[in-house]
Amino acid sequence: MKHAFVFPGQGSQFAGMGKEHYDNSAFAKKLFEQANEVLGFRISDIMFAGTDEDLKQTNVTQPAVFLHSIIAYRTIESASPDMVAGHSLGEFSALVANGTLSFDDALKLVSIRASAMQKACEMNPSTMAAILGLADEKVEEICSQVQTETNEIVVPANYNCPGQLVISGSLKGIEIACEKMKAAGAKRALVLPVGGAFHSPLMAPARAELAAAIESTKFHNPTCAVYQNVVAKGVMDKDEIKQNLIDQLTGAVRWTQSVTAMVQDGAYKFTEAGPGKVLSGLISKIHKTAEVSNVS
């Protein structure tokens, strides 16, 4: 039986995150200062004293969640994952945990990714919506129908757990899709307070910028498989990992499928490292008998 370590993405941040680590751990303090230097601004100050609104800025949120996740992971004594996975942004944390990327290189890529995504959001006004209580197949069918009928972009973006799928697309496309989802029996179709259509074709400009950065970054052979969002299976080949990381920006986060694949491959224990308990809750809904814990 295997132990999987998982890492959260954007949305798990909170004001004051990481300050306790900074104040009580020389190692954590060193990593925070290292991150401040790599990023060129004091992200630690924003994490410790910034408002919720400050932390919602994509160029802050993504490196903040990544940094907190790595520090949390490294506080786990003798952490030795048999497999790793991350939700969206969390995939970069997972790749540090399994040795594919160095901390500095991953942080640089996260910063480039966040900046590129922010620019893509500004180019194409767009959003996301959470669809609750509808089968994945029905959500997929309605997204496809809206695209065909309106020529607006609407795609499944985050398969979070059974009965919870986030869709992504243009403002008009999401509005029309939400009405159709409710008419089809969704318990809720809630437009999310996000700046753009993450994990959709509208992120194509960001994908090009991130791809160039990834191709020029050194990737190492991983110590264990990473279950990547776009393929929902364990990957060990570093070139394949690179391509999947690039594809992730415009492709869906198949979290439900990834957790199912990890369980099928022997995972019985899941440890979430990073702010919040979002993934712990999702995993418990996907596989009700899994042993789930979190370290924040």
pLDDT digits (tens, 9 = 90+) for 35-67: 999 999 999 999 999 988 888 888 889 999 999
Confirm whether 196 is domain-assigned: no
What per-residue confidence (pLDDT) applies to 270? 97
- The residues with which 85 forms a beta bridge, in sequence order, are 6
12 and 110 co-located in one domain: yes
Catalytic residue among 12, 44, 69, 88: 88
Return the closest-CA partner of residue 31 out of 20, 45, 21. Answer: 21
Structural domain boundaries, residue 153? 125-191
Is residue 102 part of the annotated active site? The answer reads no
Any idea what DSSP says for residue 222? -
133 and 104 co-located in one domain: no
| Token output for 212 | 């160039």
Distance, in Å, from the CA atom of 144 to the CA atom of 13, rounded to the nearest integer, reads 32
Contact indicator for 67, 18 with CB cutoff of 8 Å: yes
117 and 129 co-located in one domain: no
H or E element in which residue 169 lies: strand 164-170
Query: Which residue, of 161, 191, 221, is where some domain finishes?
Result: 191
CA angle 79, 264, 83 (to 5 degrees): 20
Contact indicator for 106, 66 with CB cutoff of 8 Å: yes
Is residue 168 part of the annotated active site? The answer reads no
Confirm whether 232 is domain-assigned: yes
What per-residue confidence (pLDDT) applies to 193? 80
Query: Which residue, of 138, 166, 191, is where some domain finishes?
Result: 191
Distance, in Å, from the CA atom of 47 to the CA atom of 60, rounded to the nearest integer, reads 9
Any idea what DSSP says for residue 202? G
10 and 48 co-located in one domain: yes
Catalytic residue among 21, 68, 87, 199: 199
What per-residue confidence (pLDDT) applies to 166? 98
What residues have CB less than 8 Å from 270, skipping those under 6 apart?
3, 4, 5, 6, 259, 262, 279, 280, 283, 290, 291, 292, 293
Q: For 66-78, what is each residue's pLDDT tens digit? A: 999 999 999 887 7
134 and 114 co-located in one domain: no
What per-residue confidence (pLDDT) applies to 271? 97
Q: Give the alpha-carbon dihedral of 42, 48, 50, 56, to 10 degrees.
A: 90
Spans of the chain, pLDDT less than 50 = none
254 and 109 co-located in one domain: yes
